[in-house]
Amino acid sequence: MKRFIRVGALGVAALLALGACSGGAAAPSDELGVITVPAGDPIHIAYWGVLSGADSTLGEDSKRGVEIAIDDKDGKLLDHDISLTQEDGLCTPEGGATAAQKLAADTTIVGLIGSACSDETVGGIKALTDAGLTTISPSNTRPALTAEDRDATYAGYLRTAHSDAFQGKAVAEWAFNEKGVKKAATIHDGSAYAEALQQVFADEFTALGGEIVAQEAVSKGQTDMSPALTTIAAAQPELLYFPVFVAEGGFIAQQALETPGLESVIRIGSDGMFTPDFVTAAGAGAEGMFLSSPNFSAFQEGYASFLEKHQAKYGEAPVSAFHAHAYDATNMLFDAIEKVAVKNSDGSLFIPKKALRDAIFATKDFQGLTGVLSCSPTGDCGAPLIAVYEITAREAGGEWPPEAPIWPTE
Amino acid sequence: MATNAAQAPSGRLIERVTELAIQAFLWAFRIVVVLIVVVGSILTLAQGRYSAAVWVDLAITGAALGSIYALVALGYTMVYGILRMINFAHGEVFMAGMFAGYFTAVALNNMGVLNANPLASIVSIVVMILVAAALSTVVSLIVERIAYRPLRNAPRLVPLISAIGASFVLQYTFRGFFGPGVYAYPPITILDGKAPIPFIDIQWAEVLVIGSAIAMMIGLYLFVMRSKTGTAIRAVSEDQSAAALMGIDVNRTIVTTFAIGAALAGAAGVLYAQLFHQFNYFVGFFPGLKAFTAAVLGGIGNIPGAMLGGLFLGEIEMIGPVLFLTGLGVPAANQLKDVIAFTMLVLVLVFRPQGLLGERVTRNRA
Amino acid sequence: MTSDAVATAPLETGTEAVPSIIAWRDVIRIGLIGAAIAIYLCLVGIVPVFHERQLIAGVITLGQVALFGSMALPGAFAARKASTLRDALLTGAVAGLITGLAVTLLVVVGSVVDLRVMFLNASPELYSMLTMGMGTAGAWIPAVEGLLLGALAAGVGQLPDRIRSPLVRGLLAVLVVGLFAGLLRAPLLSAGLGSLSAVLFTSDGLTVVGAVLVFSVVVLGRVVRQRVAVGERIAALPDERRQQLRIPAIAGLVAIVLILPLLLGPFFAQVIALVALYILMAFGLNITLGLAGLLDLGFVAFFAVGAYTVGLFTSTAEYGLLDIPFWLAVPFAMLFAAIFGAILGLPILSIRGDYLAIATLGFGEIIRLLAGSNLLLPLLGGPRGIINIPKPFEVPSTSFFSGPGQIYYIALAFAVVVAFVAWRLRNGRIGRAWIAIREDEDVAEAVGINLIQTKLLAYVLGAAFAGLGGAVFAGLVGSIFPSSINLFVSINVAAIVIVGGMGSIPGVALGALFLIGIPELFREFADYRFLFYGMALIGMMLYRPEGIWPSGIARRELHVEDESQVILAGDTTPITRGGMS
């Protein structure tokens, strides 16, 4: 018995001695600390966001964008492998908090992509910022996350998704200035995304001088939209904005045409429906629909090859609308790492955390799939180029994506 | 044990007062709910915002949705009748049917059969329903064999938890197989557009759903009432040991019950997809809960009750929020359709604790 | 993972093994079950997805462990009745071969037909992994693996227990340590023991040295324990000596529980804070369900009332009303939850059994929908939620107690209070009345128990404690959104009570640890952890229906039932009617 203990103690001592000898060059100083990536170890990044339950497509979609970005680098950065950890945030604040706590405790993690749902960020961002980490969300759209008055816990937070504030505003401007609409109505589906978008739209539209005549809501999984549509028809709007997701959006698009009083209303949705699935779901109602979305037109070739890689890797088309944002976010992170990492002669890397965070915030004119990205001091990196597309007979016939936006015109 | 004799007279008085307060509250509850329903309906109708066509349209959609709830509810109610257990995984069996029907539809579409001509389309739909029913049956029987059969003599909460576990396993198994993405059935052209029925705005898809649901329910009713197996099922659900003494193979009867319920749920899955077009691995959960609610509404263990409960729930969900709430000025009343549905459930249970058609359920069986 | 599934197929039917006559039908059946499991593991994605995760770097991945496990276990099972080594090896090899052949068949079929149009995981990576990179030409590889592993497992099964037991435990320990390598490595790194961690772990798994070390430590420990026979010595002690040992054991346990979060760092603190929160709520439901037998599946309704009360009363942001400290809001949270409990409970408490379950489940949904609705948006914020809920104790953010740490202690303290209340009530008049109602309502009524009032008290108490749980939750997360108010909170709490052991306080605590803590540790396996969660629920109910740590009464009840099963095979009327009647 005693012999075992003695042998064990000797072993531990030997291990410790071994560790003491293998020190490298002096690390640069950084107020948030420095991550050391030993030679032969991978650069560790993480994705956090919902991967289970009813909202899992949102997180899975973005995670695949991250994985394809890694594949495009052949899994290597600065001669180190890239390793990816994923954490499920359950689309709830407490899930986000737990995921973030776990990632924050892992001292090898360099940077993060996520979260998927804005609720997750609200719960988790403090743990990440406190740990000196920086995360870029591909799909959070809640305006408050990058508002001017956001508190210090958001210092480590950026996003490539468009704040609802941009998109709702752009749609309001298009409706009022371009289409000359004076009376508009909105529908949301109870999700934070849709609710915020339609509210921003309503506020901006009113500020421009228009009138919001009805703000209705439907619930997820609803198929018969006629009660909501009939109520809206009674208020006689010229435009109907329903920034919801594919399934409900399809039903609304279709049934609005069949509702007396709404036959000729201008129907517009947002990027949550900007997928070929929407055309399938809306059927005969797809043609003549408008959709707002980031302007993909300049980068179609890159996007087409992204879609090919996605099909080959996962055996299916993208499952939601934020994969391109995730791809861009990942590449932004990689660029920043390349900029700030200090290479040592023994092959190890030093990555100062504050410098990395600053480098990501300093991203300027980054060419991504979703546009040219530049980050604002409050973390908005999404190209503020919101475009409006029209679904014409071509797209209704199965071609995707639309060739060019109808607004803004050059 | 506590007895009345052990209590002081003042305790009795307090108890009496509390009892009165409780009764007063219960009556207040009933009156408030009925008032909301009546006043809301009158106000809504008085405002005249919705035309008769809208009400008919809602009623038809409600009937289509209700038929699907009813088909799924049958599985819950039959299993409950025979084993007194809530088969929480039944919603997932329904989801399995949707996947099976989908892959059949895609295969038929690739062969060019699905939309070749109206007859081929009808045959295709029948094939889809049969394949879905078959796969759902297989899934349900595997679950029964592994997760329920060993627990038949356990206290009743034990199979409930096992069923919840089975529900998780099935959901995430299908997610593992087919991914989290949303699947959409290939369109069937004969189901597009409206049926030529005068004055009524009804889609062909709704005709299909309501028609086949009614056919299946009548078939099931005749089967349970007339056939030998049906008699065995009824006998076992009345009294298992007596049935066993009469020479009925209890085990086989239970398996048959699971199989019938699952086949109906699988068929309902295909029908559901004709209404909603899209589904993914998580789609079974909430309709499953609704269907169980429908079974309870109708009087659990009672087959016609499940049918009635399903239809009632479908109609309440579609018509209820508009009729009761819009007149009261509730914003976006539609969001509250499940609130209405569950409140109705509570109301029905308060007035008729045994459900709509639940006379047969005696106290010690509920 | 696989052992659950294999073991769920009871194998006691079939012919009794007569010496040197092999029951081939059984062997083939086991092989086929193994085959189904192996194909399932491949197509559901466990094999290919977990192949990316190293167990022992460069030697074996988690995916391979799953695959090889599904081949070896049928071998071990098939051979367990064999009387000679030759029979064992033969049956094990055949069962393993059948499993392996099925995988071979998968590879062959997959090379002819594109299975991927259906099964997303039937990817080229899967085939390449199964055939060690040889493609269709290597289709024979899984069959041979099956043959060898089946025989090997059968052979191990024939070893004397003295050798087999340390061996199996050693392998399991390597598996567990490898599985949680990331978690174990992080504290080593942050404690400045980077060099030690480098010897034991790579970035995602054990090193060869680490694996050998873990294996040898466990094997040695096992051998030493066998020699010293600690367990037998304690069992052999006289009763009073054992009683004396129990006090330091409990004191030690309490000390561990109190200092645990300090040792483990913020992530574990968050996890065990959640566990403590669920313990608190499960103790509350234990009164409603465990004592009074009311199956409440709408626990989340009162949780929501508590959380929103604290949110509205304390938040400094939009929708906050009073901006009072957390501690002043807590009594209101409990009070409002209790009032809601009374209002919702009264109409339904005359309903029995499963009707009550579905009605309460409806309440949970009603509250969730109302919280997110336009109707209450001006009051509760709808999907915008209520943010900036202050922590119960304001401490500098650098302190350990700034975050989940303080919540852990608060939740634990409340849990102790709830447990104490439950224990006092249980042994009083009202507790006996509850138990009487649980056992038989009609009899309880006949002896003069007022059913509605007694049930209402249980329901309202449960609701008040759910509200307390909601209040603590709001303090933990610092915000409240409708997305947190979901059915799974109710299901989780009910599952904890039943899996832990109805009416048993240590059982419920263990249940929370098992159902909330362990899945959190498997977080990185994303969606698969719910698969394992479901399997664990089924497995628990199959093998320990009375719960992890049942209360004395439940244990006795189940024993009575076991006998009844033998006597009345086919009769499903339980003799004791625990729970829902």
- DSSP output for A182-237: -EEEEEE-S-HHHHHHHHHHHHHHHHHT-EEEEEEE--TT----HHHHHHHHHT--
Q: Which residue of C has its CA nearest to B244?
A: C570
pLDDT at residue C483 in the model = 85
Partner B contacted by C530 (CB < 8 A): yes
Highest mean pLDDT among A35-39, B63-67, C349-353: B63-67
Q: Which amino acid is at B237?
A: S
pLDDT at residue B89 in the model = 93
User: Averaged over B343-350, what is the pLDDT?
Assistant: 81
Which residues numbered 351-410 in C keep a CB inside 8 Å of some CB on B? 351-355, 357-359, 361-363, 365-366, 369-370, 372-375
In the numeric block, which tokens belong to residue C130? 């199964």
Instruction: Average pLDDT across each block of 10 residues of chain C; the chain has 581 residues. List them in order.
Output: 43 47 85 93 89 85 91 89 85 92 92 87 88 85 92 88 86 88 74 77 82 90 77 71 79 84 76 89 89 87 94 86 87 94 84 79 88 85 84 76 81 89 86 86 85 88 93 89 87 90 86 87 78 91 86 59 38 34 27
pLDDT at residue B50 in the model = 80
B14's enclosing H/E stretch is helix B9-47
Per-residue pLDDT of A77-125, as tens digits, reads 988 999 898 888 888 888 898 899 888 888 889 999 988 999 899 989 9
User: Averaged over B276-292, what is the pLDDT?
Assistant: 85
User: Averaged over A167-176, what is the pLDDT?
Assistant: 92
Q: Please report which residue ranges of A77-145 form alpha helices under DSSP H.
A: 93-105, 118-130
Q: What is the ipTM of this complex?
A: 0.89
In the numeric block, which tokens belong to residue A71? 């594949």
C246: exposed, middle or buried (C-beta count within 10 Å: 0-12, 13-18, 19+)?
A: exposed
**Contact (CB<8Å) B184/A228:** no
Measured between CB atoms, which of B172, B180, B182 is closest to A246?
B182
Q: Which amino acid is at C142?
A: P
Residue B282 · residue A54 · CB < 8 Å: yes
Per-residue pLDDT of B230-279, as tens digits, reads 999 989 888 888 888 888 888 999 999 999 999 999 999 999 988 877 78
Cβ count within 10 A of residue C448: 14
Q: State the residue for tokens 């009745």.
A: C81
**Contact (CB<8Å) B178/C429:** no
User: In the A/C pair of chains, how many CB contacts fall below 8 A?
Assistant: 142
Task: Name every chain C residue with its beta carbon within 8 A of the beta carbon of A196.
Answer: 383-384
pTM, to two decimals: 0.87
Backbone angles phi and psi of C391, in degrees to 5: -70, 155
How many whole angstroms separate alpha carbon A294 and alpha carbon A298? Answer: 11
Residue A92 · residue C484 · CB < 8 Å: yes
Per-residue pLDDT of B114-143, as tens digits, reads 888 899 999 999 999 999 999 999 999 999
Q: State the residue for tokens 């517009």.
A: A268
A25 pLDDT band (50/70/90 cuts)? low
Per-residue pLDDT of A110-163, as tens digits, reads 999 988 999 899 989 988 998 899 999 999 988 889 988 888 889 999 999 888
Q: Nearest Cα to A92, choosing from C476, C459, C61, C121?
A: C476
**Torsion angle defined by CA atoms of residues B209, B212, B214 and B219, in that order, rounded to the nearest 10 degrees:** -150
In the numeric block, which tokens belong to residue A162? 């468009």
Task: Name every chain B residue with its beta carbon within 8 A of the beta carbon of C564.
Answer: 153
Min distance B55 CA to chain A CA atoms (Å) = 9
Partner B contacted by C576 (CB < 8 A): yes
How many whole angstroms separate alpha carbon C135 and alpha carbon C123? Answer: 12
pLDDT at residue C11 in the model = 44
pLDDT at residue C554 in the model = 59
Cβ count within 10 A of residue C171: 17
Partner C contacted by B173 (CB < 8 A): yes
How many whole angstroms separate alpha carbon A227 and alpha carbon B242? Answer: 53
**Contact (CB<8Å) A227/B49:** no
What three-state secondary structure class fits C191? coil
Q: Nearest 5 degrees, angle CA A193-CA A326-CA A379? A: 70
How many whole angstroms separate alpha carbon C111 and alpha carbon C128? Answer: 11
How many whole angstroms separate alpha carbon A145 and alpha carbon A127? Answer: 15
Cβ count within 10 A of residue A91: 28
pLDDT at residue C562 in the model = 44
In the numeric block, which tokens belong to residue C253? 């346990």
Q: State the residue for tokens 């409806």.
A: C362
Task: Name every chain A residue with its beta carbon within 8 A of the beta carbon of C190.
Answer: 105, 107
pLDDT(B321) > 90? no
pLDDT at residue C574 in the model = 38
Specify the range with the lowest mean pLDDT, choosing from B192-196, B295-299, C451-455, C476-480: B192-196
What three-state secondary structure class fits C579? coil
How many whole angstroms separate alpha carbon B99 and alpha carbon B144? Answer: 20
Partner B contacted by C265 (CB < 8 A): no
Which residues numbered 295-354 in B keep a CB inside 8 Å of some CB on C? 296, 300, 330-332, 335-336, 338-339, 341-343, 345-346, 349-350, 353
Chains adjacent to B (≥3 CB pairs closer than 8 angstroms)? A, C
Task: Name every chain A residue with its beta carbon within 8 A of the beta carbon of C184.
Answer: none
Backbone angles phi and psi of C119, in degrees to 5: -100, 110
DSSP codes, C2-46: HHHHHHTS----SPPPPTT---HHHHHHHHHHHHHHHHHHHHHTH
Q: Which amino acid is at C372?
A: G
**Contact (CB<8Å) A247/B61:** no
Min distance B296 CA to chain C CA atoms (Å) = 7
Which residues numbered 330-349 in C keep a CB inside 8 Å of some CB on B? 343, 346-348
User: Averaged over A215-237, what is the pLDDT?
Assistant: 83
